[in-house]
Chains A and B, each alone.
Chain A
Amino acid sequence: MRTTTLSRRTFIKTAAAAGGGLMLSFYPPARGEELLESNDEAFAPNVWIKIGTDGSVTITVARSEMGQGVWTSMSMIVAEELDADWAKVSVVQADAHPKKYGSQSTGGSWSVRGSWQNLRTAGATGREMLKTAAARTWNVDPATCRTGNGYVTHSSGKKLSYGELATTAASVPAPSPINLKDPKDFVLLGKRIPKLDTPSKTHGEAIFGIDVRVPGMVFSSLEKCPVFGGTLAGFDATAAKKVAGVLDVVQIEDSVAVVADSTWAAFKGREALSVRWNDGQWANQTSEQIRKTFSDAATKKGDVIETQGDIESALASAATRVEGIYEVPFVAHATMEPMNCVADVRSDRCEIWAPSQSPQGAQREAARILNLPVESVVVHVTLMGGGFGRRLSADYAADAVRVSKAIGKPVMNVWTREDDMQHDLYRPMTYNVLRGGLDKNGNPIAWHHRIAGPNSRGLVVGGSKPSYSFPNYLVDAHLIDVGVPVGAWRSVGPSQNGWVMESFVDELAHAAKADPFEFRRKLLGNSPRLKRTLEYVAEKAGWGKKLSQGVGRGISCVESFGSTAAQVAEVSVDKNGTLTIHRIVIAVDCGPVVNPDTIEAQLESAVVYALSAALKDEITVERGRVQQSNFDDYRILQIDEMPKVEVHIVPSTEPVGGIGEPGLPPVSPAVCNAIFAATGKRIRKLPIRPADLKT
């Protein structure tokens, strides 16, 4: 094995693979020195590529695949620079290993943008080493060789495959500096490449968390206190133990686990349990009370989040003042695959199979519970039936670890859909007071956004800094514990603040008697990327062109997760209040385009996820319990409700941005602004109900 320093703090290790071939491991600058001193021969840092003697290219992906296409997109970036034959590329999902991979948390639309440079550098390093190996074999100048599609070709026409060269390449020095390709020479990036996991998912062969089976495994399911924060007072398992298939009933902290020979028997056993709870301090909590707590708080000044100038004097001098109260409900993730995890706890180690967005989080949590060193906990990452932020938490992995520890067997712990709905980490409910001021020419001179929400700052206030050039603005917040657990929900802060802010900007535009597109455009001088994206969507959607009678058009734009997105929605509302969304046009600037097909899929996905929250159901609390339980009372968008979506990718030389989340925040404001254009009704509370729209 040899180590090369590429730049002051960037390292690459190259080695011969077992049985021949080339192994390349490239690791992040932040951890480079520490790893260089490591004696762990097995370590393989965050970009890890193996080129086999058969020409196969195996890329270890350290982020989790949850439908956003990272297996494919991250591999495409490596393969592009490597000049690999795409047909020979395959993926291995990395187990949890902080030393090898650095952060493996899959969130914040971070996978591609966070490793774009490393993936390219690693691929380019491999390419140059293979080229050097060929030049040495032929005894020619490497400059007379070129690479492409898994071959090195000499100017004379002779060629060698990467498979033939891989073992030789392992003994040549890694190049320094590394020359990355000019984007105009890209052959894979920017092309529609089918996802690597599509065939197995189509044929029913893909293994999700819930599909894992290990020898000796039993099934379990936990009865948890329905009231947030409640504790176990006692239980009687006599009847549960008589249910066919039930093997055991054990107390797990403040829950009761039924262990059985099938998932169904575990569920049936739970129904037969008799459990007494201490409901705790939130026993009488209700959505109405939470709303009152927030609205009362919002009458007072909050903690300053963002500020510039002096809004009070600007408002006092304003020719026109506009006010609005915007309310966002709690919403659930409702991933199609309910929470589940397999754990096999032994006296000195633990093995976990988890559909997780944060395998290292699960690893740390298991180590903490079992009082084991982190290195003694192995976490295998499976495919997962949706993540959307829910699987960043380790709560469901902890359940499996505790049950396995208690019964001394490997166990698959499964949450019912009802558990999943009622013990989620919800997107926060928030109460927003907006005040704006316009001068006599209709220019906005003051923007005040006061937010009251649960005590999780980032989730509540994220994305609340205006992108527009308001000379005076203030964002202040009250963060109050109301007993309901909250968590990252796709697009996080911007997912709700985008709706609030883009709706209220629309109110200001109408108060100024200005065109909502032109009004925004003029205010985006300090956000040129967002401005270009807004202009692009207006052009593609035919902003300003005549619409059919009764159809209204709305526009919105939000910058989040390193990308900019703008949308135009066209809607109509009938006299019963039935909303029809005729089309949604989206423009996105995510910098370099990896896979346009994935970008389109992610933006269609963002529309469905956003509209489900805007048009369908909310999570409500009564007596400290979530009232919704399944897809019949927490409905999600169906195929017959799917609007036509048109995606336009803005040609861009901007830095690489995310794509899993940036498309979501502009969806509901574009629709609500279109509703206003069509009906004159301003939606200030989600979800939208037909009664709100009835004429």
Chain B
Amino acid sequence: MASIKLVINGKERTINVPPEMPLLWVLRDVVGLTGTKYGCGSGVCGSCTVHLDGEATRSCVTAVEFAEGKKITTIEGFAANKKHPLLEAWILEDVPQCGYCQPGQIMAAAALLKSKPTPKDSDIDAAMASTLCRCGTYPRIRKAIKRASAASQKDGQARQKSVGQGGAQ
């Protein structure tokens, strides 16, 4: 057992668990954040994807000690802003079916959009291929990512324009 200090969704907390305990189970069974899902336990399905310092990470194969000192973001933290373009796009495309893999899909898609704000289909394939969905929401995931990207670009342009106008005044 070890005392480990974690920063989860902006909140600091100290837990007492074996250092090799996977982050997934710390989040779900110790901290009580059940949005992050168990699918395979071996890093091959992506249902457990969270962000560590903004990077998509499979929490089921990440020892909790590795997350110490990093910013951990789960679906609960990411969805604190329900107006996030990706979440709005996800709802507008009515993506989920059973919904179980969706937190992992959304966290993987969010990391993709951060590194590639206007992803091509091949970028989506590369970033999302190993995040599995048994219901087959794939066509809608692709649409939602593109819709979110387009909405963010539009927002960005609008912001830039208003900043530009502000500068001129």
Whether B29 and A263, one on each chain, are in contact in the complex, defined by CB atoms closer than 8 angstroms, is yes
Q: Which of A204, A213, A631, A642 contacts B139 (CB 8 A)?
A: A642
Q: Contact at B47–A336, with CB atoms within 8 Å? A: yes
Total interface residues on A, CB under 8 Å, equals 62
- Assess the A385–B28 pair: CB atoms within 8 A: no
- Decide: A385 and B101 in contact? CB cutoff 8 A: yes
Q: Is there a chain A Cβ closer than 8 Å to B158's Cβ?
A: no
The stretch that binds A, out of B92-100, B149-157, B159-167, is B92-100
Select the residue from A68, A387, A597, A639 with max chain B CB neighbours within 10 A: A639
CA distance A597 to B140 in the complex (A): 11
Q: For the complex, what is the distance from the CA of A68 to the CA of B128, rounded to whole Å?
A: 23
Which A residues are in CB contact (< 8 Å) with B78?
204
Q: Is B53 interfacial (CB 8 A cutoff)?
A: no
Please judge, given known A-B contacts A609-B136, A637-B136, A639-B124, whether A336 and B87 are in contact too, CB under 8 Å. no
A417 in contact with B97 (CB, 8 Å): no
* Interchain CB contact under 8 A, B142 and A639: yes
Contact flags B71-105 to A (C-beta < 8 A → 1, else 0): 00011101100100001001100111111111100
Residue of B nearest to A193 (CB): B94
> How near does chain A come to B36, taking the closest CB pair, in angstroms?
8
Is A630 located at the chain interface by the 8 A CB criterion?
Answer: yes
Contact of A605 with B135 in the complex, beta carbons under 8 Å: yes
Complex CA distance for A417 and B139, rounded to whole angstroms: 26
* B33 CB to nearest chain A CB (Å): 8
Stretch at the interface among A162-170, A194-202, A463-471, A563-571: A194-202
**A194-B91, A195-B94, A213-B34 known; A336 vs B101 contact (CB < 8 Å):** yes
A195, A210, A608, A631: the one contacting B136 at CB < 8 Å is A608
Residues of B close to A417: CB separation below 8 A? 39-42
Q: How distant is B39 from chain A, measured CB to nearest CB, in Å?
A: 5
- B30, A201: Cβ atoms closer than 8 Å: no
Q: Is the CB of A630 within 8 A of B32?
A: no
A202 and B128 contact, Cβ closer than 8 Å, known pairs A66-B98, A337-B37, A604-B139: no
C-alpha spacing A616/B125, complex, angstroms: 18
B78 to chain A minimum Cβ distance, whole angstroms, is 8
User: Is A161 part of the contact surface with B, judged by Cβ < 8 Å?
Assistant: no
Is A338 in contact with B97, judged by CB distance below 8 angstroms?
no
Of B25, B106, B132, the contact of A263 (CB 8 Å cutoff): B25
Q: Does any Cβ of B come within 8 Å of A244's Cβ?
A: yes
Asked whether A197 and B29 contact (CB < 8 A) given A336-B45, A336-B47, A608-B135, the answer is no
Which residues on A sit within 8 Å (CB–CB) of B91? 194, 198-199, 202
> Chain A residue with minimal CB distance to B28?
A263
Enumerate chain A residues within 8 angstroms of B90, measured Cβ to Cβ. 198, 202
**Given the complex, which residues of B lie within 8 Å of A642, measured CB to CB?**
136, 138-139
Nearest A residue (CB) for B102:
A201
Residues of A14-58 whose CB lies within 8 A of B: none
> Quick check: B79 and A385 within 8 Å, CB to CB?
no
Inter-chain contacts of A384 with B (CB < 8 A):
98, 100
Cβ–Cβ contact B138 & A207, under 8 A: no
Kindly state whether residue B35 has any CB partner on chain A within 8 Å: yes
- Select which of B75, B130, B135, B138 is within 8 A of A386 by beta carbon: B135
Q: Do A67 and B98 touch (CB < 8 A)?
A: yes
Name the CB-closest residue of A to B42.
Answer: A630
What B residues does A609 contact at CB under 8 A?
134, 136
Q: Is A383 an interface residue (CB 8 A)?
A: yes
Complex-state Cα separation, A387 to B100, whole angstroms: 11
B32 A213 Cβ-Cβ under 8 A: yes
Chain B residues with CB under 8 Å of A631's CB are 39-40, 44-45, 132
A385 partner residues in chain B, CB cutoff 8 A: 37, 98-101
Question: What is the CA–CA distance of A608 and B133 in the complex, to the nearest angstrom?
Answer: 9
Q: Are A264 and B97 in contact (CB under 8 A)?
A: no
Give chain B nearest CB distance to A193 CB in angstroms. 9
Contact: A638 with B79, CB < 8 Å?
no
Q: How far is the CB of A557 from chain B (nearest CB, A)?
A: 21
* Chain B neighbourhood of A201, CB < 8 A: 96, 99, 102
A198 touches B95 (CB 8 A): yes
Beta-carbon contacts of B41-70 to A below 8 Å, as 1s and 0s? Answer: 110110100000000000000000000000
B134 with A206: CB separation less than 8 A: no
A262 at the A/B interface (Cβ < 8 Å)?
yes
Does A636 lie within 8 Å of B99, measured CB to CB?
Answer: no
Cβ contacts A589-610/B at 8 Å (1 or 0 each): 0000000010001001111110
Q: Is B21 an interface residue (CB 8 A)?
A: yes
In the complex, the chain B residue whose C-beta lies closest to that of A69 is B97
| Number of B residues, CB within 8 Å of A | 60
Q: How far is the CB of B148 from chain A (nearest CB, A)?
A: 12
Nearest-Cβ distance from residue A342 to partner chain B, whole angstroms: 12
A416: Cβ under 8 A from any B Cβ:
yes
* A residues 595-646 in Cβ contact with B at 8 Å: 597, 601, 604-609, 612, 630-632, 636-640, 642, 645
Least distance between A396 CB and chain B CB atoms (Å)? 15
Interface residues of A in 371-401 (CB under 8 A from B): 383-388
The yes or no answer to A203 lying at the interface (CB within 8 A) is yes
Please give the distance in Å from B55's CB to the nearest CB on chain A. Answer: 19
Instruction: Flag whether A211 is at the interface (Cβ < 8 A).
Output: yes
Contacts A608-B136, A638-B129 given: A202-B102 contact, CB under 8 Å? yes
Q: Given contacts A67-B96, A208-B100, A336-B100, are A601 and B140 in contact (CB under 8 A)?
A: yes
A386-B141 in contact (CB<8A): no
B1 at the interface (CB under 8 A from A): yes
In Å, the complex CA distance between A632 and B91 comes to 30
Contact between chains at B45 and A211 (CB < 8 Å): no
Q: Is the CB of B25 within 8 A of A194?
A: no
**For B100, what are the chain A residues with a Cβ–Cβ distance below 8 Å?**
208, 335-337, 384-386
Does the CB pair A204–B98 fall under 8 Å?
no
Query: Is A504 positioned at the interface, with any CB of B under 8 Å from its CB?
Result: no
The docked-state distance in angstroms from the alpha carbon of A642 to that of B136 is 8
> In the assembled complex, which residues on chain B have CB atoms less than 8 Å from the CB atom of A204?
35-36, 74-76, 78-79, 102-103, 106
Interface centre among A69, A198, A205, A213, by most chain B C-beta atoms within 10 angstroms, is A198
CB distance from A196 to the nearest CB of B (A): 11
What residue of chain B has the Cβ atom nearest to residue A610's Cβ? B136
Query: B101 — which chain A residues lie within 8 A by C-beta?
Result: 336, 385
Which residue of B22, B34, B87, B131 is within 8 Å of A203 (Cβ)?
Answer: B87
Contact with B along A203-228 (1 / 0, CB 8 A): 11111101101000001000000000
B42 touches A338 (CB 8 A): no
Task: Assess the A203–B129 pair: CB atoms within 8 A.
Answer: no
Among residues of B, the one whose C-beta sits closest to the C-beta of A607 is B136
Closest to B86 in A: A202
Given contacts A264-B29, A631-B40, contact A198 B94 (CB under 8 A): yes
Q: Residue A207 contacts which of B28, B34, B40, B140 (CB distance < 8 angstroms)?
A: B34
Q: Which residues of B contact A604 (CB under 8 A)?
A: 136-140
Chain A residue at minimal CB-CB distance from B98: A67
**Contacting pair A608 B138 (CB below 8 A):** yes
Please, how many angstroms separate the alpha-carbon atoms of A334 and B98 in the complex? 13
For the complex of A and B, list the 10 residue pairs with the smallest distance between their C-beta atoms, beginning with the closest: A385-B100, A608-B136, A204-B35, A204-B75, A201-B99, A67-B98, A67-B97, A640-B125, A264-B25, A262-B29
Q: Add 13 more A-B contacts to A337-B100, A417-B39 (CB < 8 A).
A: A195-B94, A201-B96, A201-B102, A202-B87, A203-B79, A207-B34, A263-B29, A383-B98, A417-B40, A608-B138, A631-B45, A638-B138, A642-B139
Q: Which residues of B pack against A, CB within 8 Å? A: 1, 18, 21-22, 24-25, 28-30, 32, 34-42, 44-45, 47, 74-76, 78-79, 82, 87, 90-91, 94-103, 106, 124-126, 128-142
Q: List 11 A-B contacts (CB under 8 A).
A: A201-B96, A202-B102, A204-B78, A208-B99, A262-B21, A337-B37, A383-B99, A414-B38, A631-B40, A639-B124, A639-B128
